[in-house]
């Protein structure tokens, strides 16, 4: 029994069923017991591993991507380098190190970390203490002063609470969580249908809508349109909108029941990139992709980077680099190359950002 489970049961007992959206919000961001609020969930000892935690190459390549976009923006000084949900701060640390090859860019950077977890913000602070650039924190985009920006976000959108609707006898009903006869959490559907949802589907299908994601894409697009700049969003999800329940919970690298141990496991959902792209495009921003993470990283030079690092390292480290490279770009089971997708949102005045054209193999 977790402290949050107790609290949720009491809430439902007194106020009635809660929506999946509210459940996810409380499980992840409850000020005291929320999953991200109190712990470091990453790495081998944690619940899941992310691309920047797998290899320094991920953050380094994103740093070089940012430097190239900055050049195409006409080298504004200052420029904001914003990261969404930076976790341990590893991606930013690697990106800033890689940016050393372009001192002009590094000198122009003002780093903004958008983070809601005080525990993770403290870790980011410690890791980036010696980075040699000005760093500030914000909890939302609105708090970050106006100005041209380059925005990076890895596994940010998947952590935003989403709503689910279930098709029941020809009508959509919001998916809720109630207490069953044994007093345990159980999925249910709301009594009232949602007749304004026009999508048609077979009974039992689940439709997911991410209101927080849409709000965020509107804000992001509007900012890039008026202030200039580009954003890169990397996440696991699907390129086309479809039906299906994608809510999942991870604990110690294993899938668990999303209703088990709220606050003690990571709760995420697949990102509907097509839906996110529609909201960003509605602001007048230009959307690129999504493309597979494997193709994107290959296009921006992962193999060259892996080779450069391996040439300088011993055989053991070279093997490690090869494994990391394969995990990031491979498209097989357990690999991230096609499960994860990359999408860019940019001001229309900018040329196409790097990484969105397939690499053409050099002919022999």
Note the residues at the interface with ligand SAH (CB under 6 A). 36, 42, 50, 52-53, 85-87, 91, 114-117, 120, 154-156, 159
Task: Find out whether 242 and 300 touch, Cβ atoms under 8 Å.
Answer: no
Task: Find out whether 100 and 106 touch, Cβ atoms under 8 Å.
Answer: yes
Residue 80 or residue 173: which is nearer to ligand SAH going by CB? 80
Phi, psi dihedrals of residue 255, rounded to the nearest 5°: -75, 135
| 3-state DSSP of 79-148 | EEEEEECCCCCHHHHHHHHHHHHCHHHHHHEEEEEECCCHHHHHHHHHHHCCCCCEEEEECCHHHCCCCC
| Cα 45 to Cα 48, 51, 57, 85, 252, distances in angstroms | 9, 16, 21, 20, 7
Instruction: State in angstroms the smallest separation of the CB of 214 from ligand SAH.
Output: 13
Residue 37 or residue 318: which is nearer to ligand SAH going by CB? 37
> Maximum Cα–Cα distance for the chain, whole Å?
71
Residue 93 or residue 164: which is nearer to ligand SAH going by CB? 93
Residue 48 or residue 243: which is nearer to ligand SAH going by CB? 48
Residue 141 or residue 206: which is nearer to ligand SAH going by CB? 141
Residue 108 or residue 117: which is nearer to ligand SAH going by CB? 117
Instruction: State in angstroms the smallest separation of the CB of 348 from ligand SAH.
Output: 27
Instruction: State in angstroms the smallest separation of the CB of 87 from ligand SAH.
Output: 3
Instruction: Please tell me the distance from the alpha carbon of residue 18 to that of residue 189, in angstroms, as a whole number.
Output: 10
Q: Which residues neighbour 210 within 8 Å (Cβ) at sequence distance 6 or greater?
A: 157, 160, 161, 162, 163, 269, 271, 272, 275, 276
CA angle 50, 30, 143 (to 5 degrees): 75
Cα atoms in the 13 Å half-sphere on the side-chain side of 207: 19
Instruction: State in angstroms the smallest separation of the CB of 170 from ligand SAH.
Output: 35
Residue 25 or residue 174: which is nearer to ligand SAH going by CB? 25
Instruction: State in angstroms the smallest separation of the CB of 228 from ligand SAH.
Output: 23
Instruction: State in angstroms the smallest separation of the CB of 42 from ligand SAH.
Output: 6
Instruction: State in angstroms the smallest separation of the CB of 149 from ligand SAH.
Output: 16
Give how far the C-alpha of residue 127 lies from the chain's centroid of Cα atoms, to the nearest Å. 20
Instruction: State in angstroms the smallest separation of the CB of 80 from ligand SAH.
Output: 16
Instruction: Please tell me the distance from the alpha carbon of residue 157 to that of residue 81, in angstroms, as a whole number.
Output: 18
Which letter does DSSP use for residue 347 in this model? -
DSSP state string for 151-215? EEEES-GGGS--EEEEEETTEEEEEEEEE-TTS-EEEEEEEEE-TT------TT-EEEE-HHHHH
Cα dihedral 258/202/238/330 (nearest 10): 80
Instruction: State in angstroms the smallest separation of the CB of 179 from ligand SAH.
Output: 27
Residue 73 or residue 124: which is nearer to ligand SAH going by CB? 124
Q: Is 20 helix (H, G, I), strand (E, B) or coil?
A: helix
Residue nearest to ligand SAH (CB): 85
Residue 36 or residue 65: which is nearer to ligand SAH going by CB? 36
Residue 17 or residue 289: which is nearer to ligand SAH going by CB? 289
Instruction: State in angstroms the smallest separation of the CB of 307 from ligand SAH.
Output: 24
């Amino acid at each position: 029994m977790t402290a949050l489970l107790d609290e949720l049961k009491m809430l439902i007992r007194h106020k009635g069923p809660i929506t999946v959206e509210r459940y996810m919000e409380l499980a992840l961001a409850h000020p005291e017991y929320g999953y991200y609020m109190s712990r470091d969930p990453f790495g081998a000892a944690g619940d899941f591993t992310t691309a920047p935690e797998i290899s320094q190459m991920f953050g380094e390549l994103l740093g070089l991507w940012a430097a190239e976009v900055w050049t195409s923006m006409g080298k504004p000084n200052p420029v904001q380098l914003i990261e969404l949900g930076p976790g341990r701060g590893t991606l930013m640390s690697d990106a800033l190190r890689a940016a050393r090859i372009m001192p002009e860019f590094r000198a122009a950077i003002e780093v903004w970390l958008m983070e809601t977890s005080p525990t993770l913000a403290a870790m980011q602070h410690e890791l980036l203490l010696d980075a040699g650039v000005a760093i500030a924190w914000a909890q939302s985009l609105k708090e970050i002063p106006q100005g041209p920006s380059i925005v990076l976000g890895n596994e940010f959108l998947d952590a935003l609470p989403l709503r689910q609707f279930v098709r029941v006898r020809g009508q959509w009903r919001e998916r809720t969580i109630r207490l069953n006869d044994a007093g345990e959490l159980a999925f249910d559907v709301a009594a009232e249908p949602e007749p304004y949802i026009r999508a048609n589907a077979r009974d039992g299908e689940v439709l997911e809508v991410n209101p927080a994601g849409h709000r965020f894409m509107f804000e992001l697009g509007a900012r890039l349109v008026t202030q200039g700049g580009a954003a890169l969003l990397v996440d696991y999800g699907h390129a086309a909108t479809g039906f299906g329940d994608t809510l999942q919970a991870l604990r110690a690298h294993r899938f668990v029941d999303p209703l088990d141990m709220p606050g003690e496991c990571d709760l995420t959902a697949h990102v509907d990139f097509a839906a996110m792209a529609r909201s960003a495009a509605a602001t007048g921003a230009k959307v690129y992709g999504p493309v597979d993470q494997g193709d994107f990283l290959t296009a921006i030079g992962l193999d060259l980077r892996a080779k450069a690092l391996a040439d300088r390292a011993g055989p053991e480290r070279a093997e490690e680099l090869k494994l990391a490279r394969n995990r990031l770009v491979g498209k097989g089971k357990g690999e991230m190359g096609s499960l994860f997708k990359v999408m860019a949102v940019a001001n229309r005045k900018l040329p196409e950002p790097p990484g969105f054209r397939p690499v053409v193999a050099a002919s022999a």
